[in-house]
Amino acid sequence: MRTRDLLNLHNTGHPGINALFAKAHSADWDFEKDVDWSLPVEPDDPLVGHAWAAYGKTATFQALPEPAKTHATRRSVGRMLNILQVGESVAQNVCARLVLTLREEDYRNHAAAQAMDEARHHLAYRRFLDAMGEQVEDIDAGTEMMFDALLSMDDPLELIATEQFFLESFAMNIFEGLRREATHPLLRRIVELITRDESRHMGFGVLYVAEWMRRAPLERRIAFARRWMGQILGSLLDRPGPIMLSRVIRRLREAGVADAERLGPRMLREQQEINAAELAEAVSGASVPHLLRSARRAGLLEPEIVEALHLSDEPLIRGALRGSIDAEAHA
Ligand SMILES: [Fe+2]
Ligand SMILES: [Fe+2]
């Protein structure tokens, strides 16, 4: 880009996206002053309710001795915070690239403000991990590949659809779960402050995709929705299974549970029942996941698209469309 390209930047005049930039300042928080970093993080504190972690709700896990449960739960929290801290740095890179690529003044401004939020989130997670004072498990190959793919993109639609629209909607359910289940006040505080920022980021993704959908011909809209609805439904159906179980068993072995392997099949069976119940809740429309809410708000669940993708009878989609009526009635 040259000076001439920046001389008369065009503002799309989108009221929602312009408002996000103002909100980034009015809803700002101070990394040092708004968080009490002096709160100790004791080594025997599970930090969240055991039910937060995968397999933590199973009767078999619940019946284990407290120190073993604490070890497994802390490991799980550490692993998640490690994924989040690097995810924040990835998001910061995405935003920096968006600033350099986008030509619209309001879009660039949002991306610049978001980059600063992500820098702050990264610091907050890192500082909490340091306070925990233990080795964290490495991030898994699938997550690393997904982040690598995102870091190699340069088309704004691809970048925004992946980061703000998909990943940040996906992460929103993780943040809400952490905030609800956190028992450590410092962890709860930082997740609460971060979630406030993340809902603006997700909002930008929804508004940007909605604008694109409004302009694109039906055929391109359908192709876009096909790709992203596949991804969204895939990730919603991806519930704790054998890979996650092997992690839990390893953690329990580390904590001295000698028969950890033997407990595996029972925990898997119990978790499968929990998975089914949670899925049933999404299907009923009682709790529509953020991914489906974002899809609906961005126009991916419009009747002509749902029909073209043969999704009319998909229970999760029907739940999301049913849930929409309730959500709007409360608004
Ligand atoms: Fe973030
Ligand atoms: Fe974010």
Residue 10's DSSP bridge partners are 104
Distance 123 CA to ligand 1 centre (A): 10
Residue 194: which of 122, 128, 256, 136 has the closest Cα? 122
Distance 290 CA to ligand 2 centre (A): 14
Distance 227 CA to ligand 2 centre (A): 22
DSSP state at residue 38: T
pTM here? 0.94
Distance 90 CA to ligand 2 centre (A): 10
What is the pLDDT at residue 215? 97
Distance 85 CA to ligand 1 centre (A): 8
Distance 322 CA to ligand 1 centre (A): 30
Distance 159 CA to ligand 2 centre (A): 13
Looking at the CA of 202, which ligand is closest?
2
Looking at the CA of 89, which ligand is closest?
1
Distance 118 CA to ligand 2 centre (A): 6
Distance 225 CA to ligand 1 centre (A): 25
Residues of the chain short of pLDDT 70, as ranges, are: 324-331
Looking at the CA of 87, which ligand is closest?
1
What is the pLDDT at residue 281? 86
- Please give the Cα distance from 318 to 324 (Å, whole number): 10
Distance 91 CA to ligand 1 centre (A): 7
What is the pLDDT at residue 232? 97
Is residue 259 within 8 Å of 278, Cβ to Cβ?
Answer: no
Rg, the chain, Cα only: 21
What is the pLDDT at residue 324? 54
Looking at the CA of 88, which ligand is closest?
1
CA torsion sign, 282 to 285 to 286 to 288?
Answer: positive
Distance 193 CA to ligand 1 centre (A): 10
What is the pLDDT at residue 287? 84
- Count CB-CB contacts under 10 A for residue 279: 16
